[in-house]
Amino acid sequence: MKMQSKLVSVVGVAIVACSLSMALAQSKKEPVFVESEKAEFKEVVPGVKKKILWGNHDAAAYGAFTKFDPGLTNPLHTHANEVRIVVLRGAYIYKPQNGNERRVGAGSYLSIPAGTVHVSSGDAKEGALFYEESPGKFDLKVVDQKAKK
């Protein structure tokens, strides 16, 4: 009984210490402000620029501002993970392989499920600026249309 009581006490102390450590770590964090118009974007492929806001775009979940140049068209492709988009300026043009094109304008949200075959592009005049996030790393797998025939 004494051994059980000591074990419960030790576990209780460990939980309290862990909670205090986590609270202290969280209290040291500062808010992060990034203005999309003033952010430093990095070109990831011709016509596409990103500003990673959190996470690791190349290896894990992330959030980023993304810009498509006016008239940019990404060929038929898929992503291994869901991609969620909120358009801030211009328009994101989404066209699923077997469906109708959708113009996703400023103030609109789009969720593209993992594995969905589609074409994406920006407005011909304004391009697109959008917030993008994913629960996993970013990839773009071009679909070989010749292999489909």
Tell whether 21 and 49 lie within a shared domain: no
Q: Do both 50 and 4 map to the same domain?
A: no
Give residue 16's pLDDT band: very low, low, confident or very high (50, 70, 90). very low
Q: In this structure, is residue 37 part of a structural domain? A: no
CB 132 within 8 A of CB 64: yes
Which tokens belong to 74? 């990404």
Residue 112 is given by DSSP the state E
Same domain, 22 and 94: no
Q: Decide if pLDDT at 125 tops 90.
A: yes
Neighbours of 32 (CB within 10 A): 7
d(CA 127, CA 92): 8
Upper half-sphere CA count for residue 118 (Cβ side, 13 Å): 22
| 3-state secondary structure (DSSP) of residue 65 | strand
Together in a domain, 19 and 59:
no
pTM: 0.77
Average pLDDT score over residue span 95-114: 96
Does 68 map to a domain? yes
The number of beta carbons lying within 10 Å of the beta carbon of residue 141 is 12
Segment 1-12, tens digit of pLDDT: 555 444 434 434
- pLDDT confidence of residue 29: 87
CATH code of the domain containing 68: 2.60.120.10
User: CA-based diameter of the chain, in Å?
Assistant: 76
- Does any domain span residue 35? no
Q: Could you tell me the two tokens for 133?
A: 């996030």
Q: How far apart are CA 58 and CA 139, in angstroms?
A: 8
- The predicted pLDDT at position 90 comes to 97
Q: Which domain holds residue 1?
A: 1-30
Each residue of 36-91: pLDDT tens digit?
Answer: 999 999 999 999 999 999 999 999 999 999 999 999 999 999 999 999 999 999 99
**What pLDDT score was predicted for residue 102?**
97
Examine the domain organization and report whether 70 and 127 are in the same domain. Answer: yes
* Token pair in block for residue 35: 């203005």
